[in-house]
Chain A
C-alpha cells in the first residue's frame, strides 16, 4: 500500500509543483522549490527500492527493470535542479533571460520530470508514448529558452525531427496493438505491457517485425542514434546548461528504456526477427560516426553532445549483443554515462560563465585559474574517455571483452571507435585544462557540489562496486535476456 503511495508521489509531486511554480513570480523561491520537489521525488523513488512494490495496474507498474531508470532519473533530476538553482540566477544578470522566462523554465522543469517519470513507470504502451511526447515538448520549449536566433533554430530542428520520430514510434505502437489484438482481445488489455510480454509468442511475427523497425527508427531518433541524431548537438549546445545535463543524462535514457521494452517484446517471440543485429549495427554506426565528429568541434557543449551520441551507441551495442554479461555492461554503462555526462555539463556551465563563451579555443588553463573546477572537469573528461579507475572504464571494459569473445570482428570496430573518441577528448582536454589561462574571467556562481558528488560516485563504483548493486544489476541483466 505504501509502495503504491510512493509510486503516486513520484508522479504527483512534479506535476503539482509544476502548477505551483507556474504561479510563483519570484525566481529565487521557485529555484529552491524546484530543488525541494526534486529531492522529495528522489526520496519517493528510492523508497520504491525497499518498499513492497504495488501490483501492476493497466496504467502503471514498477518492476526490476524500470526501478533502475526511475532512481537514476530522479537522482540526476535532483542534482541538476540543485546546480540550476545556483547557476540560473546569473543568466538574469547577463540579460540572457528575464524573470518571466525563469518562471516558465521552472514550471517546465517539473513538467519534464513528470513526463519522464510517467514514461518510465507506465505499464501501457500508449501511455508511455504520450509521456515521451510530453517530455519532448517540454524540452523543446526549454531549448528555445534564450530566444536567440540559434536557440530558436535548434529548438525548431529538435521539434521537427523529434516529432517525426515520435510519430513513427506511434505507428509502431499501433502495429504492436494490431498484432496483440487477436490474442489479447480488443481494448485496453492489448496495450498493457505485462499482458503483452506474457503473450508475445502468440503474436503474428511479421507484424511485430515491421512494428519494431518503426519503433527502432522512432525512439532511436530520440535516443540520438546516427543517422537520426541531427537534432541532438544543436539542442544540447543552445539550451541552458542544466537542461543539456538533463537531456544527455536522462531524456536519452528514457527513449532507450522504451526501445529496450520493445526489444524484449520482439525477443519473446521466437519467430520474429532478432532485434540484436539491428541494434548492434546502429550502435556501432553511432559510435564510430560520433567519435570521428569529435575532432572537428569548436564548441564545448557541442563536443560533449557528440560524445553522448557515441556513448548511446556503445550502450545500444551492448544491449543489442544481449546475454547476461553484455546487458550488465550496458546497464552499468548507461548509469555511469548519465552520472559522468551530467557532471561534465555542470562543469561546462561554470566554464562558460567564467569565460563568457562556448568556443573551445578561447577556453584555456582552467586547472591554473580555477583548480576545483578545472580538476573536476579533467577527472570527468578522463572518466568519459574511459580511463581507469572510473566506472565508465569498467563498463567499457566489460563491453569490449564480451564482444571479443562473441563477435571478434565487430569488437575491432568497437575498439577503433573507442580509441578514436579517446584521442579526440584528450586532445581537447589538454587545451581546455592546461596551459596559461587567457581570455575573460567572470565570477562563477554555479555550485561545484553536484559535479564532485557525481565524480565521487563514478570513481567509487569504478574502484569497488558495492555487492548489493552488482546483484541488483545482475537480476536486471537477466530480465533483459
Chain B
C-alpha cells in the first residue's frame, strides 16, 4: 500500500511540474488558460489523494476549492475577459521560449537538489517528494511572471505559483489551516481577476501591458 500510495502521489505532483512547463511554451492566451485549468484539476486530484492517504478529511475541501474555483470558475472568467478585451493575440514574452525553458529546467534541478538534500532525515518520503515538486512549481510560476508581459499571463503565473503552495501545504503531514489558506488565496485571486477586469474596462486603458507600468515612476511632470 505504501509503495502504491507513494507512486500515485509522485505521479500527480510530477505532472503538476510537467504542466508548469507546458504553460511556459504556450503562445496563445486561450491555450494558456486551458493549460492552467488542467493544472488546477491535477492539483485537486493531488490534494484529494493526500487527503485519502493521510486520512485528513479537511483536505477534501481544499481539493474541491481547487477543482471548482481554479479549475472551472477562474479560467471561465478569464476566457470571458480575454474575449471582451479582444486580447487573444500571441502572448508577448520578454525572452524566447528556449532560454525560458532552459531557465525552468535549471530551477527545477535547483529545487530538487535543495529539497531532497534538506529532507534526507525525514522518514516520510511522500512529504519530501511533494516539497521538491511544490518548490519547482512555485519557481516556475515566478519564472512565468517575470518572462510574460501582459497582466493576464502574470495572473496565470501567480495562480500557478499558488498551486505549488497548496501542493506543499497538502503534502506537509497533518498541517492545519490548509482550508483556511485555500480560501484566503481564493479571495486574493478573485480580487486579482476582478482587478484585471476593472483595470481595463472601467478606465479604458489602452493596454494591460505591464511595460506601461514601468514608465510610471511618479516622476512624470
Contact call A170/B181, Cβ cutoff below 8 A: yes
- Whether, in the assembled complex, B131 has its beta carbon less than 8 Å from a beta carbon of chain A, the answer is yes
Contact call A137/B191, Cβ cutoff below 8 A: yes
Contact call A188/B176, Cβ cutoff below 8 A: yes
The CA of A182 and the CA of B120, in the complex, are separated in Å by: 13
Note all chain A residues with C-beta closer than 8 A to B122. 178, 182, 204
Contact call A156/B199, Cβ cutoff below 8 A: yes
List B residues 111-166 near A (Cβ within 8 Å).
Answer: 114, 117-119, 121-123, 127, 131, 134-135, 138, 142, 145, 151, 154, 158, 161-162, 165
The CA of A298 and the CA of B205, in the complex, are separated in Å by: 25
Asked if A171 meets B135 with Cβ closer than 8 Å, knowing A130-B184, A188-B176, the reply is yes
- Whether, in the assembled complex, A129 has its beta carbon less than 8 Å from a beta carbon of chain B, the answer is yes
Contact call A159/B202, Cβ cutoff below 8 A: no
Asked if A156 meets B135 with Cβ closer than 8 Å, knowing A171-B168, A178-B172, A182-B122, the reply is no
- Whether, in the assembled complex, A437 has its beta carbon less than 8 Å from a beta carbon of chain B, the answer is no
Note all chain B residues with C-beta closer than 8 A to A181. 172-175
Contact call A159/B192, Cβ cutoff below 8 A: yes
Contact call B119/A137, Cβ cutoff below 8 A: no
Contact call B161/A164, Cβ cutoff below 8 A: yes
A-B contact count (CB 8 A): 112
Note all chain B residues with C-beta closer than 8 A to A204. 118, 121-122
Contact call B138/A171, Cβ cutoff below 8 A: yes
The CA of A267 and the CA of B72, in the complex, are separated in Å by: 44
Shortest distance in angstroms between A127's beta carbon and chain B's nearest beta carbon?
A: 7
Contact call B191/A147, Cβ cutoff below 8 A: no
Contact call B158/A170, Cβ cutoff below 8 A: no
- Which residue of the partner chain, among B118, B151, B158, B188, contacts A210 with CB atoms under 8 Å? B118
Note all chain A residues with C-beta closer than 8 A to B168. 171, 174
- Nearest opposing residue in chain A for B145, CB measure: A164
- Whether, in the assembled complex, A237 has its beta carbon less than 8 Å from a beta carbon of chain B, the answer is yes
- Which residue of the partner chain, among A147, A174, A207, A234, contacts B216 with CB atoms under 8 Å? A234
Shortest distance in angstroms between A226's beta carbon and chain B's nearest beta carbon?
A: 15
Instruction: Fill in one digit per residue for A196-209: 1 if any B CB lies within 8 Å of its CB, else 0.
Output: 00000000101100
Contact call A163/B203, Cβ cutoff below 8 A: no
Contact call A160/B221, Cβ cutoff below 8 A: no
Contact call B199/A174, Cβ cutoff below 8 A: no
Asked if A191 meets B138 with Cβ closer than 8 Å, knowing A152-B199, A163-B188, A206-B118, the reply is no
- Nearest opposing residue in chain A for B215, CB measure: A153
- Whether, in the assembled complex, A261 has its beta carbon less than 8 Å from a beta carbon of chain B, the answer is no
Shortest distance in angstroms between B39's beta carbon and chain A's nearest beta carbon?
A: 16
Question: Which residues in B have some Cβ–Cβ distance to A below 8 Å?
Answer: 114, 117-119, 121-123, 127, 131, 134-135, 138, 142, 145, 151, 154, 158, 161-162, 165, 168-169, 172-177, 180-181, 184, 187-188, 191-192, 195, 198-199, 202-203, 205, 213, 216, 218-219, 221
Per CB-CB distance, the 10 closest pairs between chain A and chain B, nearest first, are A186-B174, A126-B177, A188-B176, A174-B168, A302-B218, A178-B172, A130-B184, A206-B118, A187-B174, A299-B218
9 residue pairs A–B, Cβ–Cβ below 8 Å: A149-B205, A160-B145, A167-B161, A170-B181, A182-B122, A187-B174, A204-B121, A207-B118, A298-B218
Question: Which residues in A have some Cβ–Cβ distance to B below 8 Å?
Answer: 124, 126-127, 129-130, 133-134, 137, 140, 147, 149-150, 152-153, 155-157, 159-160, 163-164, 167-168, 170-171, 174-175, 177-178, 181-182, 186-188, 191, 204, 206-207, 210, 233-234, 237-238, 296-299, 302, 359
